[in-house]
Structure 1
């Protein structure tokens, strides 16, 4: 029963992560399809949470709010319920996105915190699964950033060919500048929230698993720097309306920061790659 209820929460967390990603896309670049899909995923998450809540009530014979973990779950359920209501009746993308980021953090804390489980085996398995989800989401975000980097390199190469008026087969084999620029931007829009969610899950794992967690660890610092530089990219692109070669060069520089974090900071970290 304990593991079955936990599986419901794990499915809900995966759906919730996709939901936050879609809300982020709608938040940055008004997109009705993304918002509609996010709303339906959020509704499914709410349904799964409600099933879990009533199952706990049946299991314990009371309303499950008498300890910190039960209260945390009910708090998350309230946040998701409010998000569903706000999404349905108000145009409040900014509020909905950040409310769901908080909800995702709280739900992850509730699901993967080992002290709430009676079985030590269940606790250990869940902590391992949390690490797996963290690493998978980080790698997927890095993949999106890598493809974005490739599009920016192609954009710069294409731009220089056009500026020098070097017409030829190579020019015809590369996509036009506007498409390269757009694809680079879209991939970063996908990568940034995925990296954010990965950092959240990684922090929760470190808090649970490690005796001492240092925020100034090189890998942690480097990951925050990566998050920051790509957030600056989105800010310059959306708010300052940078376009063309300047934003492509900024994206290339951001990817170099990512490489430094992955290869150099990762090797200097006190717990990454061997902390598990």
Structure 2
């Protein structure tokens, strides 16, 4: 029973992460399709959470709010319920997105905290799976940033060829500037929330697994610097409404920081690349 409920929560976590990603896209671009898909994913999350609550009620014979972990779960269920109501009746993308980020954190804390599980084997397995999800999401975000970097490189090459009026086969084989700029932006919109959620899960794992977790660890500071740099890119792109060569250079600089964080700060970290 315990393992079945745990698996249900893990599925819910993955769906919730996708939901937050789609709400982030809607938050930045007012994308109606993303908002609609996020709403239905959130509805599935709410449905799975409700099943879990009733299963816990059936298992314990009471309403499950009498300890910290049960309270966290019920709190998350309330946040998801309120998000669905807000999504349906008012246009508040900013509130909905950040409400679900908080809900995701609370859900992850409830799912992966080992103290709530009677079985040590279940607890150990969950901590390992938390690390796996954290690493997978981080790699996917880095993949999105890498592709965005490639598009910015192609944009820079195309821009210089046009500026120097060098017409030829190389120019014809590249996409037009607006499409290269847009694809670079879209990939960063996907990468930023994935990295944010990965860092949230990574911090939860560190607090659970490590005896001495330090916020000033090189890899931790480097990862948040990467997140901040790409957030600056999105700010300049959306709020300042800059496009083209200037944001392409910001994107190239952000990827350089990402590489420094991955190769240099990773080797300086006290706990990254350790066996879980």
TM range (shorter): over 0.9
| Aligned counterparts, 1:244-255, within 5 A | 244-255=244-255
- 1:219-267 CA-to-partner distances (Å, cap 9, x unmatched) read 0000000000000000000000111101001000000000000000000
Are 1:171 and 2:171 matched, yes or no?
yes
Q: Which residue does the alignment assign to 2:181?
A: 181
- 1:88-137 CA-to-partner distances (Å, cap 9, x unmatched) read 11111000000000000000000000000000000000000000000000
Are 1:239 and 2:239 matched, yes or no?
yes
Provide the rounded CA distance (Å) in 2 between the counterparts of 1:19 and 1:64. 25
| Aligned counterparts, 1:1-276, within 5 A | 1-274=1-274, 276=276
Provide the rounded CA distance (Å) in 1 between the counterparts of 2:182 and 2:243. 10
- 1:173-208 CA-to-partner distances (Å, cap 9, x unmatched) read 000000000000000000000000000000000000
3-state SS, counterpart of residue 273 of structure 2: coil
Unaligned runs of 5+ in 2: none
Offset at 1:275? 5.1
Provide the rounded CA distance (Å) in 2 between the counterparts of 1:212 and 1:101. 26
Provide the rounded CA distance (Å) in 2 between the counterparts of 1:126 and 1:219. 23
TM-score (norm 2): 1.00
Provide the rounded CA distance (Å) in 1 between the counterparts of 2:160 and 2:94. 39
TM-score (norm 1): 1.00
Unaligned runs of 5+ in 1: none
Number of positions where the alignment pairs a residue of Structure 1 with one of Structure 2 = 276
Provide the rounded CA distance (Å) in 1 between the counterparts of 2:19 and 2:163. 42
Structure 1's consecutive aligned runs of 4 or more residues displaced over 6 angstroms after TM superposition are none
- 1:63-83 CA-to-partner distances (Å, cap 9, x unmatched) read 000100000100000000000
3-state SS, counterpart of residue 185 of structure 1: helix
Provide the rounded CA distance (Å) in 2 between the counterparts of 1:90 and 1:247. 33
Provide the rounded CA distance (Å) in 2 between the counterparts of 1:243 and 1:201. 33
